[in-house]
Structure 1
Amino acid sequence: MQHIPAADAYCQTLRGLMVDSLRELAEPHQSTGVVAVINGPRFSSPAESAWLASAGCELISMTQYTEPILAAELNLGFATLCYITDADTGHDGSEPVTAQLVFERLRAAQPRISSVLSLLLSKLGAGYSPEQRVAPEAVAAVLDASVLDASVLDGTSCGS
């Protein structure tokens, strides 16, 4: 664990190419926003949804917190393409969300999602290099260490 700043956890190069791809394909999108990450797998309650909306959150997700931070700690580029499947718990008058609804909408959107990702990959090119947020030798030490060799209980850490 590198304890890096989380304010800009996503790779700005990948994010920019993703937004360019969405624009080029004329896909409706919002290129910025505030996401709340909840523990899953589950859907939020009406009270949670109202609370998160009042805090300025525009999107609720279960998979956007640990992944970008861990990727950044290893100097891996990371961007997220979120496909909105539902209006959460139905607090806006819509039908409450179900897993079946989410999976049906994702299946229907799969060709569009694949097109965006294919275009993004074609734009990426061989010269892509993610932002180096952690010294390469620190990343190497983390990757070389065995989990059994490090303990927060006895004061040792990976690579010490």
Structure 2
Amino acid sequence: MLAIIGGSGLAKLPVLEVTHRQVVRTPYGDPSCALTFGHLGQQNVVFIARHGHGHSLAPHEINYRANIWALHNQGVKGILSIGSVGGIRADMGPGTLVVPDNIIDYSWGRKHTFFDGPERPVVHVDFSNPYDDGLRSRVIAAVDAAGKQAVSQGIYACTQGPRLETAAEILRLERDGADIVGMTGMPEACLAREMNLPYAHLCLVVNWAAGKGGSATVDFDPATAEAGMNDVTAVLQAMLS
């Protein structure tokens, strides 16, 4: 069973044939919302809205540990994360789908590991390649099968939020090698790695990052974002048919 974590713009999965919803309690507190179980194509799927119902949780408020623990507890075999991002690289403008292959983490103050506390051993997970190659390949193949296009490599920069970045900060991220910028990719990916859950990211560029096309808020086009999320849904259907 594949888990899908929906981000901004994908708080619900309309194409999911829902069978039931389940509230899961975890040792780390409450997940963002109840888990939604159902069928998409020929596959069993569990869906969770990262920001909660009604988009009520800011990126720094999300209980990432509870979300990942809850999905692992339900026996999922992999996690596909959907994220809305800002474009930094010139070929990653609004409406572009990106399947990133690495991460730079600029977030702080978040619970980044399950391995903390006086009764837990110190564990250093290998995070050289944060995304699972096999799951990434499935996503890229599904993009082709759906008749869509995506940039199949890119560096995702995870900032703290909830404010958008300054133009100077985006220049710094660009110098560091980042291609797109979001606020929720970490510690989600690392926590999945600690649970030995294959994890991949399908990102939709919804605006230019600050300084790359004017104001990130002014440049946001709801119609472009909606069309992009329709592309994301088509990819999910192709992947799970």
Same fold (TM over 0.5): yes
Bigger CA radius of gyration: 1
**Matched length:** 120
Shift in alpha-carbon separation, 1:102–1:66, aligned structure 2, 3 A: farther
Cα 1:64/1:103, change in 2 over 3 Å: farther
- Deviation per CA, 1:28-74: give whole Å up to 9, x if none: 21111112111022211000011111222111111112111101111
Give the strand-richer structure, 1 or 2.
2
Q: CA deviation digits over 1:72-104, x for unaligned, max 9?
A: 111222111001111111x23x23112892655
Provide the identity percentage: 26
For the aligned residue pairs, the C-alpha RMSD in angstroms reads 2.0
Q: 1:72 to 1:82 in 2, by over 3 A?
A: same
Match of 2:165 in 1: 44
The structure-2 alpha-carbon separation of the partners of 1:35 and 1:102, relative to structure 1 and needing over 3 Å to count, comes to: farther
Name the SS for the 1:27 alignment partner. Answer: coil
Match of 1:71 among 183, 188, 192: 192
TM score, norm. by length of structure 1: 0.67
Q: Following the alignment from structure 1 to structure 2, what is the Cα–Cα distance between the partners of residues 100 and 25?
A: 27
Structure 2 spans left out of the alignment, 5+ residues? 1-114, 116-122
Superposition map of 1:21-36 within 5 A = 21-36=142-157
Kindly provide the amino acid, as one letter, of the partner of residue 71 in structure 1.
A
Query: SS at 2:157's partner residue?
Result: strand
Equivalent residue, structure 2, for 1:149: none
**Paired position in structure 2 for 1:121:** 240
> Secondary structure at the residue paired with 2:190?
helix
Q: 1:104 to 1:27 in 2, by over 3 A?
A: same
Question: Which stretches in structure 1 are left out of the alignment for 5+ residues?
Answer: 123-160
Between stretches 57-66 and 103-112, larger displacement belongs to 103-112
What's the counterpart of residue 11 of structure 1? 132
Amino acid paired to 2:173: L
